[in-house]
A and B are shown apart, each in its own frame.
Chain A
Amino acid sequence: AQSVAQPEDQVNVAEGNPLTVKCTYSVSGNPYLFWYVQYPNRGLQFLLKYITGDNLVKGSYGFEAEFNKSQTSFHLKKPSALVSDSALYFCAVRDRASGTYKYIFGTGTRLKVLA
């Protein structure tokens, strides 16, 4: 069965420091992988996705993520955190081999950037 794990409920980082939000997945085939961000009382906004090719994917607002097939991970990173990055982050996966349109979301990681 497909699954996504975000092992940290919350990540705290000081402004200006690098940040990492972790995601690991389990799918039977090759995945499409996504990161979304949710600000308070808002819907989810797309940040970036991995389809194929370069393992390092760059997205919106200076975020990037690295696809690691051997570790089945897709960690979200940013070189220098901003207070405005504080939000809830979701990793999601879709198995491209399944032929379905079902996406599996992780439980979310709350990022707090401290001034």
Chain B
Amino acid sequence: NAGVTQTPKFQVLKTGQSMTLQCAQDMNHNSMYWYRQDPGMGLRLIYYSASEGTTDKGEVPNGYNVSRLNKREFSLRLESAAPSQTSVYFCASSETGQEGHTQYFGPGTRLTVL
């Protein structure tokens, strides 16, 4: 059981380049999330998917798009990267049937935009 996996672990982009962050979970969870973590700001929700086939904006969606490819996979795309998107990105999943919906996190992707 790998839990939540993310690729890549590290990435350096130039301003204007695009990339997709991949996330997969093997816990058969319905809900998946993308967060960014910045110093002094905690975790902020970018997008989430309550179930396969649905996605919703979080607190900071501008500059990002997401795809819930299937129940296992939830990708985050930066179409035109900006230095303000330099951050650590975390994917998480949770089981909606579970009381309280505990989230389980991936190891993160450290992204630098030059």
Chain A residues in contact with chain B, CB under 8 A?
9, 32, 34, 36, 41-46, 49, 51, 90, 92, 94, 100-103, 105-108
Contact = CB atoms under 8 A, between A and B. Distances in A.
Q: Name the prevailing secondary structure of the B interface residues.
A: strand
Interface stretch (B67-75, B78-86, B95-103): B95-103
Interface of B: 4, 31, 33, 35, 40-45, 48, 50, 56, 58-59, 90, 92, 94, 96, 99-108
Contacts, number: 59
A38 to B, nearest CB: 9
A106 B44 CA distance: 9
A112 B15 CA distance: 37
Contact of A105 (B4, B31, B42, B56): B42
B103 A46 contact: yes
Top 7 A-B pairs, shortest CB-CB distance: A43-B105, A107-B42, A105-B43, A44-B105, A105-B42, A51-B100, A32-B100
29 contacts: A9-B40, A34-B100, A34-B102, A34-B103, A36-B105, A43-B4, A43-B90, A43-B107, A43-B108, A44-B90, A44-B92, A45-B105, A46-B102, A46-B104, A51-B99, A51-B100, A90-B42, A90-B43, A101-B31, A101-B33, A101-B101, A102-B59, A103-B33, A103-B45, A103-B103, A105-B35, A105-B43, A106-B42, A107-B40
